[in-house]
A and B are shown apart, each in its own frame.
Chain A
Amino acid sequence: MASWWDEMERRIRARGVRVDERLALLALLRKPEPGVRLAAETSRLRQAVEDAVSAVRAEALRGETRPDGASPGPKGGA
């Protein structure tokens, strides 16, 4: 079994893309009850998106923009 994990790690490093994230995911799979852990991770990611979408929707409907001068403001008078 150990050789399989080593082989996967070697392939992740060889690919050189998002190495840390993929190693972390591999480590997560290696822990007990990986299915539960993966489900928790997907649930966390989904909730983060859902919260951010709700916040952006509320701000957009209020016409709220960043207070950094980026607000488009009126387009040419009432």
Chain B
Amino acid sequence: MKPRSLSIREFRGWRESGEIPLDRPITLVVGENGRGKSSLTTAIEWCLFGREIESAGGLGIDERADWEVRPREASQGPTEVSLGLDAPEGPVTVVRRRAAHASGRGGDEVEVRTPSGVLADAAALEWLRRRMPDLETFRRAHALHPESVRRRATDAADRAAILAILLGLEDDREARERWKDAKALDLVRDVDLRLRRLEADVDASADRPRRDREEVEKRLLARGLARGDLSPERAAALRDDLTARARALAQRLGLDPKLPPVGIPDSEAFHAWARAWPLAARERAPALTGLQARRNGLSHLDAGLAELAPLEDGLRRARETYEQAVHTGGDRPARERAIVEATAKATQAAADLQRASSLVSLLEDALALAPDVDERTPCPVCATPVLGLRARIGEALAHHRDDDVSRLVEAKAKAQAARQAAERALDDLARAERSGHAAREARDQVQKRLAALLPPDAGSPGVGSPVDGPTHDLAAAARVRAEVLRREIEGLEGLAKERDAALARHAADHDLLRDLEAWVSAVARLDREVEVTRCPSFDRLDAAVDAVAGFAADVESLSSMARDAQAERSVARGAAVNRTLGEYYDAIVGAGGRGLQVVVHATPKKIDYRLEDRDGLPAVPVLNQASINAVSLALLFAQAEERARVDGLSLVLLDDPAQSLDAERQAGLARAIERLSAACSVLVTTTPAPLADRVRDFVSTPRRLLHLAPRDVHAGARVERTEDR
């Protein structure tokens, strides 16, 4: 497969190239700096590999780190490169297209136009994958860039890969790299380490029963057991004792604890029960469920009785005060009658005083009207002449005013005081009654609370006089009830103490039992030899280790076979490769060169390739820049020939290959290109230099020279003139 034509749109220095023919064995692109030579070769790579070449990693060119595909003055149209190829199935065109503002991360549009139809996107990429080498191989065997020309000769890894390609051993080399990736030796070392750890663990475990026995023995002896007590029989007896005592306690507590049967061999189940039993006995014993309720009842009864006593005293004192008041001042009706009587007397006294006061007033009026002479004066009432009327009126007035009125005023005051006293007496009695009521009400409240704490038939508060006491023996009943509760509580607390003691002993004995069983187990393990090979899973381990060993041996064997094959091929291909490589190198450097050859150095572990001169010395370390470039070119040309032979891709891109080469070596390079063009289509870019002249004038292969015009900012790079030779 070889190139036929190229068309570039909005790529780097090119805006619109039109169709550029590439159908001659040699195409020489000639132009001064900045006319788009490198962009032209790069456009071909971009068409084939897309975004892969746009970074420093893709082609190994550091300058690509911040590379821009589109020209800054580009139109809104897409970037597009079309590469015409002559493929086995006929003319094919590969087109890669990227929209104006796309970055290529989402994938460019790719299309392959074949005689049988157009493949797009995934199908087009698959066609490229099958027909084209990967970018790494392309970089090593089909393209030369001025930025990376030295690496081909000086980078050890690159050189090794290139020499392997040259010798046709690329597959061997790749396979060996993959086997290295398998890290079979790491796997074997890892497995070996695990097996040694297993062995150490098992060895350590053999000594563990002895340490366990010693530790547990110390504890058991400290608890008072004699050495003679340390036996499985003692452990069994202790386990039975634990069960029997638990059963007895369960009966006392009314529990059904689902005790394990005596002498059970299932140690796990037994210990699970022994751990759970104290909790069940503490929290769920029916016999003790009323203890707290009784404690609460007794507490309330005691509090009620303590509260009741002073209330009863208060009620009794209120009753005595009331009775004393009745005794001394009469009961309520008597006092009410006394008030009525005192009120009547006071009313009478007031009326009497009123009448006396009216008489005095009348006499005073009469005295004022009587003449102030001692003669007969007609009585103003009966008109009978009366001697000394004024004096007589004065006497009557003095009598009534000084005697009757004063007496009546005093009588009225006394009557009023008597009435007030009677009213106070009634108020006093009312207060005594209220006090009695309050005392009784307080007492009744406490009695009700007490009654609620008593059984239904223990009595209830009775009904009495306003200040009377209860007619029943509620307090006595409460005291009796409290006494009953006290005795019951005593009994239950005794049972709880008994339970707690039993559970404490249970816990201590259970600890003892566990130690004793640990001792029995340690002794039993002491009597066994740990043999890994007798473990049930040993066969599985054996098989897994065998599989690892087999895998590692297989990897090593295949690696060894590949190495052998590689060595044999190296020998078989070595002479031919060296002839090709040497001829290219000699062609470029001329007769003064020291020669160049690949020498295979095979060791039992690996195969190494070195570039040596005719004297068998390392070729690269003593070379100058021009010779290193010559080595790089010779390696590239030899590889390109090999790739064209193996994979059929007949294409070499040489971007400014004449750098650092003088006119003589450029003439040699032209000869080398002429030879290469017999196997490959060669696209060379160069400034107007001796190389261009040599290719144009002294090469016999059909060739085409494309002269690039000075770059126009708006039109971009363009072919100014085509010259076919």
Contact = CB atoms under 8 A, between A and B. Distances in A.
Interface of B is mostly: helix
A50 B536 CA distance: 16
Interface in B513-538: 523-532, 534-538
A64 B528 CA distance: 10
Interface string A1-42: 100100110011001011001100110010000110011011
Contact of A55 (B171, B175, B537, B547): B537
A66 B535 contact: yes
Nearest to B186: A42
Contacts of B527: 73-78
Question: Which of B190, B531, B535 has most chain A Cβ within 10 Å?
Answer: B535
Contacts of B550: 18, 21
Given A18-B554, A25-B558, A57-B201, A38 B181 contact: yes
A71 B524 CA distance: 13
A59 B497 CA distance: 46
B531 to A, nearest CB: 6
A2 to B, nearest CB: 10
Given A25-B558, A66-B534, A66-B535, A60 B548 contact: no
A16 B546 CA distance: 19
A55 B541 contact: yes
Interface in B166-199: 171-172, 175, 178-179, 181-184, 186-187, 190-191, 194-195, 197-198
B529 A72 contact: yes
Interface residues of A, number: 48
B344 interface: no
Contacts of B548: 45-46, 49
Contacts of B532: 56, 60
B564 interface: yes
B547 A45 contact: yes
A59 to B, nearest CB: 4
Given A18-B550, A78-B527, A60 B202 contact: yes
B183 A42 contact: yes
Nearest to B182: A38
Contacts of B67: none
B187 A42 contact: yes
Interface string B544-571: 1101101101110110011011000000
Contacts of A65: 531, 534-536
Nearest to A67: B536
Contact of B536 (A1, A22, A66, A72): A66
A26 B541 contact: no
A51 B183 CA distance: 20
Contact of B537 (A4, A25, A52, A63): A52
A52 B541 contact: yes
Contacts of B529: 72, 75
B175 A29 contact: yes
B205 interface: yes
Given A18-B553, A42-B182, A45-B551, A60 B558 contact: no
A50 B179 CA distance: 23
Top 6 A-B pairs, shortest CB-CB distance = A52-B541, A55-B537, A74-B527, A59-B535, A4-B171, A38-B182
6 contacts: A18-B557, A26-B558, A52-B540, A56-B538, A61-B202, A72-B529
Interface of B: 171-172, 175, 178-179, 181-184, 186-187, 190-191, 194-195, 197-198, 201-202, 205, 523-532, 534-538, 540-541, 543-545, 547-548, 550-551, 553-555, 557-558, 561-562, 564-565
